[in-house]
Amino acid sequence: MNIQISEHAERFLRQKIGSKSSPVRLVFDSEGCGCGVNGIPALWILPAQDEHDIIIHSNGVPFLINRIHAVYFEEHLYLDSEETYPSFRLSGDSQLYGQNIRLLDKREDES
């Protein structure tokens, strides 16, 4: 699996991550969405990788995905963002996953 990150999206991610070397996890967030097949893509900044994560190859920021969530996404992904809007657009070769993908900092939750 790989993800191509636009220059603007990478700048935005690095700004949010800060000076610490924290990975970003792509998730299929189904909490509060009914059954497990209903969900939305999200990005989480994590304090560290966990044992169930696999690496998503990228051209910049380190990305991870839980093995279970990988089935919801295509092999080749593209992440972009706009200057004037603080969210991301995630697409694949055959579909758009979302134009308003949220980035949540989960590092505070782990302390």
The domain that holds 97 is classified in CATH as 2.60.300.12
Q: Which of 2-16, 23-37, 83-97 has the lowest mean pLDDT?
A: 23-37
17: tokens are: 């991550």
Provide the domain limits for residue 70. Answer: 2-110
* Opening angle at CA 10, ends 28 and 22, nearest 5: 65
Structural domains in the chain (count) = 1
Count CB-CB contacts under 10 A for residue 90: 23
The confidence score (pLDDT) of residue 32 equals 55
pLDDT tens-digit map of 11-52: 999 999 987 778 999 999 766 555 555 678 999 999 889 999
Sort 93 into a burial class: Cβ within 10 Å, 0-12 / 13-18 / 19+.
exposed
